[in-house]
Structure 1
C-alpha cells in the first residue's frame, strides 16, 4: 500500500514540476525585471572620468548674462546710480559775477550780475536776474559823429535789466581738469521775461534766454558761466546831420551777454 502511494506522489510531482518551471519562464521573469528597473532608477548615476573631464574643460554655459538687466522695471526707474557730488534739489543758489555785451559794434557795455534761484529738483528751478550795466562809446561811434557828422542818437543801449527765468537742467556730466581731478557739471537752459532800462529813458519789456554750465568745485561752491540773449524794442530820437529833430521811431535791439562768476548753494547738501 505504501509503495502504491509513494509511486502516485512521484508521478504527480513529475507532472507538476515542468509546468511550474514553465510558468516562471512566462510570467515570473517580468516581475524580476520590474524590480531590477525600479532599483536602477533609485540608484545614483556615476559619471565616468571622460565626462568629468569634459565638464571641467568646457566653459560654463549657465554663466549669467547681464546685458538684459537694463530692461528690468526697477532699473528703468533709476536715472543716475551714483550720487551727485553737489545735489540741487530743495536748495537755494546765490550768484555773483561780471558780464559784457559781445555783439554791439557801437558801444562797450559791461557790468555786474546778481542771480538768486531755487531748485525744485535736479532738473527744474526758478531764478531772478539783475544786470547793472555801464556803457561807453566805441572809437568807431565817436568818429562817425566827429568826422562824418553821422548822428548816433538813434542808437540805444541797456543800462540795467531785471527779470525772472525758468531753468531746465537736462544734462549732468563730468570732465577732467588737466587729468588732476574730476569736475562734475550741469548744463542748463533758461528763459523768461523782464524789463530793460534803456538809455533813452524808458523801460522796455525784454525776452531773456540763456544757456550755460555750472561746475561744482565743492558741495556748496560752483563756477558758472553762460551766454544770455535779451530782445527788446525801444523808442529812439531821430536827427539829421545838423542835429535837427526828425521825430521818434521804435527800433528792435538785442544784446548777447557773456557772464562769468561764482555760485553759492545752501542749505547744506543732503543726498536723496
Structure 2
C-alpha cells in the first residue's frame, strides 16, 4: 500500500498537467483545403526539344487534348508533335570530311513527327507563398501511354511506349502552364530500341470546369 501511494504521488503532477492541457485544447482539427482550380476539357499548345540524338536536334510543336475525369485522373486523348530538325556539327563533319551520305543508315532514325495518347495521374497538388505577396497553385503528375513515331526511314512508322512526369502551374481558372519531361521508347526493329527524350513547355486552356 505504501509503495502504491508513493507511485501515485509521483504520477499525480503529470496527470494534472495533462488534464489541464486537455481542458485548454479539447481537440485538434486537421483541415485539407479543396483545390482552387479544377480541370475538365484541356487544350494544350506546346513547344519543346528532342535533345538526345548525336546527329540532330529536334525542335517540336505540339497540339493535344486531355479529358479530366477527376482531380487526379485524366486521359490525354490525343497529342501530335511535328519536329523541325537541325543537323549537329558531328553530322556535318561526317558528311563533309568522311563523305558519309545523308541517306546513311545512321541518320535514318531522325524523328519527323509523333502522335499518341496517354493516361495521366496527378497525386500532388499544393500552393506556395511567394514573398508573402502572392500564392502559386501547382500540381505534379505522372503519365504513360503509347506513341506512333514517323522516322526518316522509308518504312519509318514505329510503335513506342511513352513514360514521363510533369508539373502544372495554374495562372487562373482557364489558363495553366505545363512542363513535361518524357521518354518515348521506340521499337525500331526486332532487336533495336531507340530512346527519344522530350522536354516540352506548354500553355493549357481549360474549358467546362465547374470551379
Q: When the two structures are superposed, what TM-score results if normalisation uses the length of structure 1?
A: 0.63
Report which of the two has the higher share of helix. Answer: 1
Equivalent in the alignment of 1:146: 96
Answer 1 or 2: higher relative contact order, Cα 8 Å, separation at least 6: 2
109, 125, 139: which one aligns with 2:74: 125
Quick one: distance in 2 between partners of 1:181 and 1:158?
42
User: Structure 1 regions of 5+ residues with no counterpart?
Assistant: 1-57, 71-79, 236-248
User: Structure 2 regions of 5+ residues with no counterpart?
Assistant: 1-16
Equivalent in the alignment of 2:199: 258
* Distance change in 2, residues 1:160/1:179 (3 Å): farther
Equivalent in the alignment of 1:208: 162
Quick one: distance in 1 between partners of 2:131 and 2:51?
29
Deviations 1:59-103 (A, max 9, x none): 982223434x55xxxxxxxxx732312112xx1100101011121
Q: Give the Å deviation of 1:250.
A: 6.1
Q: Give the Å deviation of 1:217.
A: 0.3
Q: How many residues align?
A: 188
* Distance change in 2, residues 1:176/1:63 (3 Å): closer
Give yes or no for the alignment of 1:92 onto 2:41: yes
Task: Kindly report which structure 2 residues correspond to 1:180-259, keeping only aligned pairs within 5 A, or say none.
Answer: 180-201=133-154, 202-234=156-188, 251-259=192-200
* Distance change in 2, residues 1:115/1:178 (3 Å): farther
Q: Give the Å deviation of 1:151.
A: 5.2
SS at match of 1:143: helix
Equivalent in the alignment of 2:27: 66
Quick one: distance in 2 between partners of 1:193 and 1:162?
9
Q: Give the Å deviation of 1:149.
A: 3.8
Give yes or no for the alignment of 1:175 onto 2:128: yes
- Structure showing greater radius of gyration is 1
Contact 1:106–1:141 at 8 Å: present in 2 too?
Answer: yes
Report which of the two has the higher share of strand. Answer: 2
Q: Give the Å deviation of 1:269.
A: 3.2
SS at match of 1:121: coil
Contact 2:50–2:60 at 8 Å: present in 1 too?
Answer: no
